[in-house]
């Protein structure tokens, strides 16, 4: 079966399974208002912000694992996601639009103990001598160049694929009245997918993945195994 057919069947299954609760959008389409069913009107900056805040107050954007060890080839990390560097501009653009809309931004990052004692078993061999992927305090755990956490935004540390696994993320979101999530970052078949499935299990009403602001080590996997 040619790849575009496989992709098609993948999307069909998604539509069948998650109905209207899980969306896959291109940035362009989502930013033009596709994610909410209506466009954000162009208006003077200040009133635009006020309108946006009301409209988007129940939506949060999760930016996942956009750390140097995952997306910057210069780090020579074993955890490098091959397509990661290429999506940094798209993620930055998504973040900029989210800020303009007043969407609550959550920067989800991995930070691990130098010993690796809080990383998955299958990754522990990468930790020794106080070094390893995204060790807390080391350069590889920093956000990729061009991405910055601003005041009022939230940093959430996780130690597994899903941003919800053994963290207080659901607590922060639910108590803030968040019902819809928009997800960007790396990488699709692991952290993105697990976060999406947990979000669906946790009854978020709409879960949107911006598929051109996510990446996978192998693009064809990205297409076939999307969710």
Phi then psi dihedrals of residue 164, to 5 deg:
-95, -10
Q: Report, in Å, the least distance between residue 42 CB and its own copies.
A: 30
Q: Which is nearer to its own copies, 29 or 160 (CB)?
A: 160
Q: Give me the least distance between CB of 39 and its own copies, in Å please.
A: 26
Instruction: State which of residues 17, 32, 39, 128 lies at the interface with its own copies (CB under 8 A).
Output: 17
Q: Which of residues 162-201 bind its own copies (CB under 8 A)?
A: 162, 165-168, 170-172, 174-176, 189-190, 194, 197-198, 200-201
Contact segment (CB under 8 A) with its own copies among 23-31, 52-60, 67-75, 161-169 equals 161-169
Integer Rg of the chain from CA: 17
The yes or no reply on residue 224 touching its own copies (CB under 8 A) is yes
Q: Is 116 left (phi over 0), alpha (psi -120 to 50) or beta?
A: left
Size of the site for its own copies (CB under 8 A): 56
Cβ–Cβ under 8 Å, residues 43 and 51: yes
Asked if 60 contacts 125 with a C-beta cutoff of 8 angstroms, the reply is no
Q: How far is the CB of 58 from its own copies (least distance, A)?
A: 14
DSSP 144: P
21 binds its own copies (CB under 8 A): yes
For the chain, how many residues are written?
Answer: 227
Q: Which of 120, 131, 146, 148 binds its own copies (CB under 8 A)?
A: 120
Binding residue (CB under 8 A) for its own copies from 33, 45, 117, 186: 117
Residues 159 and 119: their CA atoms lie apart, in Å, by 6
Q: Which residues make Cβ contacts (< 8 Å) with residue 37, sequence separation at least 6?
A: none
Residue with tokens 């691990």, as numbered in its chain: 112
Q: Considering the rule CB under 8 A, would residue 161 count as an interface residue with its own copies? A: yes
212: left (phi over 0), alpha (psi -120 to 50) or beta: alpha
Give me 206's structure tokens.
Answer: 């709409």
For its own copies, the binding residues (CB under 8 A) are 1-3, 6, 9-10, 13, 16-22, 113, 115, 117-118, 120-122, 125, 152, 154, 157, 159-162, 165-168, 170-172, 174-176, 189-190, 194, 197-198, 200-203, 205, 217-218, 220-221, 224-226
């Amino acid at each position: 079966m040619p790849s575009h057919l496989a992709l098609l069947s993948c999307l069909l299954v998604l539509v069948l399974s998650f109905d209207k609760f899980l969306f896959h959008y291109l940035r362009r389409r989502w930013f033009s208002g596709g994610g909410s069913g209506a466009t954000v009107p162009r208006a003077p900056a200040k009133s635009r912000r006020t309108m946006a805040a009301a409209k988007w107050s129940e939506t949060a954007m999760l930016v996942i694992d956009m750390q140097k060890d995952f997306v910057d080839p210069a780090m020579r990390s074993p955890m490098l996601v091959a397509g990661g560097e290429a999506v940094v501009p798209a993620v930055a653009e998504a973040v900029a639009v989210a800020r303009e809309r007043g969407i609550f931004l959550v920067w989800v990052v991995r930070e691990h103990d130098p010993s690796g004692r809080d990383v998955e078993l299958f990754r522990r061999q990468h930790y020794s001598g106080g070094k390893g992927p995204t060790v807390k305090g080391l350069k590889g755990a920093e956000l990729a160049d061009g991405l910055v956490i601003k005041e009022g935004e939230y940093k959430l540390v996780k130690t597994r694929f899903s941003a919800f696994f053994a963290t207080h993320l659901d607590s922060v979101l639910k108590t803030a009245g968040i019902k819809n999530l928009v997800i960007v970052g790396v990488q699709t078949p692991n952290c993105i997918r697990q976060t999406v499935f947990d979000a669906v299990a946790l009854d978020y009403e709409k879960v949107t993945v911006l598929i051109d602001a996510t990446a996978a080590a192998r693009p064809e996997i990205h297409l076939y195994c999307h969710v």
